[in-house]
């Protein structure tokens, strides 16, 4: 089935939106505009999720075939993931908050997209690489869950002294 221009518009619109967002965010740092507050810096991790989500959806709708749209989504995904892989130090320096859950959506959509492409590639060791991607995502989400539980436990001990345990949940 050939691709019509109607099929390309959603991908082109999504790509242009992501590139506009990244351009705005990057130009702030190039012009010397102060970084956003620490709580908002985590949200830059979500920039790499749209091509992965769109790619997963495109695989689901079109039966896992590689076509022009899927290739464009993969290229966009690779560029945006490489940007994220260049700035982990900025995330490590931030104090842990519940805002770190923003990484879980990006990680799961990116991990799923990676597994789809590895399955299509079918090259030597693709299953090992797929399991590695799944393990990496699982470790990331598990560590965020453990840190969140520790953070919430510490806050409930500090903030709710003298309050009945059932009232702390409200």
Each residue of 101-158: pLDDT tens digit? 988 999 999 999 999 999 998 889 999 999 999 999 999 999 999 999 998 887 666 5
Give me the pLDDT at residue 94, please.
Answer: 83
Q: Answer yes or no: is pLDDT of 8 > 50.
A: no
pLDDT bin (cut points 50, 70, 90) of residue 18 is low
Nearest residue to 103 (alpha-carbon basis) of 85, 128, 117, 119: 85
* DSSP helix/strand/coil, 94: coil
3-state helix, strand and coil shares in percent for the chain, rounded to the nearest 5 = 80, 0, 20
62-70 contact pairs (CB < 8 A, 24+): 64/116, 64/119, 64/120, 66/120, 67/3, 68/3, 68/8, 69/3, 69/7, 69/8, 69/11
pLDDT band at 32 (very low <50, low <70, confident <90, very high): low
Structure token digits, residue 62: 């079109």
In this prediction, residue 44 has a pLDDT band, given cuts at 50, 70 and 90, of confident
Per-residue model confidence as pLDDT tens digits over 49-103: 999 999 999 999 998 888 999 999 999 999 988 888 887 777 888 888 888 898 8
């Amino acid at each position: 089935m050939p691709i019509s221009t109607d099929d390309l518009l959603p991908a082109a619109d999504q790509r242009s939106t992501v590139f506009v967002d990244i351009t705005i965010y990057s130009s702030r740092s190039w012009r010397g505009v102060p970084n956003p507050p620490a709580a908002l810096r985590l949200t830059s991790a979500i920039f790499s999720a749209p091509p992965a989500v769109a790619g997963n959806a495109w695989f689901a709708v079109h039966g896992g075939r590689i076509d022009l749209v899927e290739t464009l989504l993969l290229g966009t995904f690779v560029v945006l993931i490489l940007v994220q892989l260049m700035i982990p130090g900025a995330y490590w320096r931030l104090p842990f908050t519940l805002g770190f859950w923003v990484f879980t959506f990006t990680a799961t959509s990116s991990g799923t997209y990676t597994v789809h492409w590895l399955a299509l590639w079918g090259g030597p060791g693709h299953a090992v690489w797929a399991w590695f991607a799944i393990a990496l995502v699982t470790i990331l989400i598990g560590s965020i869950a453990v840190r969140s539980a520790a953070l919430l436990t510490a806050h409930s001990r500090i903030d709710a002294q003298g309050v009945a345990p059932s009232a702390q949940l409200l």
